């Protein structure tokens, strides 16, 4: 799994976001457009792209894109 691709996949869930501004350190809950629906979409994207199952509660505990990436990587 590659971080750049993960960030792209993450950004794809937003209506309007500049992927160049996203880094592993980005605290995604503060991003414009973040919502509970985007959270559901990110979980579903992770299901589909990485075949990794994460729960709403696990999602809730992640704050940065890097943390989320590590969670997915730990389940691969």
Partner 1 sequence: MYNPFSLEGKTILITGASSGIGRTTAIECSKSGASVVVTGRREDALIETMALLHGEGHKYVVCDLSSERGCSELVAELPVLDGVVSNAGVGKMLPVQFYSEDVLDEVFRINTFAPMILMKTLVRKKMLSNPSSVVFTSSISGYSNVAPANGIYGSSKSALTAYMKYAALELAGKGIRCNAVHPGRVNTALIANNRLLSDDDVSKDMAQYPLKRYGEPEEIAYAIIYLLSDAASWVTGTNLVIDGGRSLK
The tokens 């799994």 sit on which residue?
Answer: 1
Q: Which of residues 2-41 bind partner 1 (CB under 8 A)?
A: 36-37, 40-41
Q: Which residues pair with 27 in a beta bridge?
A: 64
For residues 6 and 72, the answer to whether their CB atoms sit within 8 Å is: yes
Could you say which of 4, 18, 55, 74 contacts partner 1 (CB under 8 A)? Answer: 55
For residues 7 and 22, the answer to whether their CB atoms sit within 8 Å is: yes
Could you say which of 59, 66, 67, 71 contacts partner 1 (CB under 8 A)? Answer: 59
Q: Does residue 71 touch partner 1 according to CB under 8 A?
A: no
Both tokens assigned to 1: 């799994």
Q: Does residue 1 touch partner 1 according to CB under 8 A?
A: no
DSSP 20: G
Q: Does residue 44 touch partner 1 according to CB under 8 A?
A: yes
Residues that bind partner 1 (CB under 8 A): 36-37, 40-41, 43-45, 48, 53, 55-57, 59-60
């Amino acid at each position: 799994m590659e971080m750049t691709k993960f960030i792209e996949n993450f950004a794809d869930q937003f209506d309007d976001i500049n992927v160049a501004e996203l880094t592993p350190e980005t605290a995604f809950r503060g991003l414009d457009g973040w919502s509970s629906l985007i959270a559901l979409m990110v979980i579903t994207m992770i299901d589909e792209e990485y075949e990794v199952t994460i729960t709403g509660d696990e999602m809730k505990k992640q704050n940065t894109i890097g943390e989320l990436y590590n969670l997915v990587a730990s389940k691969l």
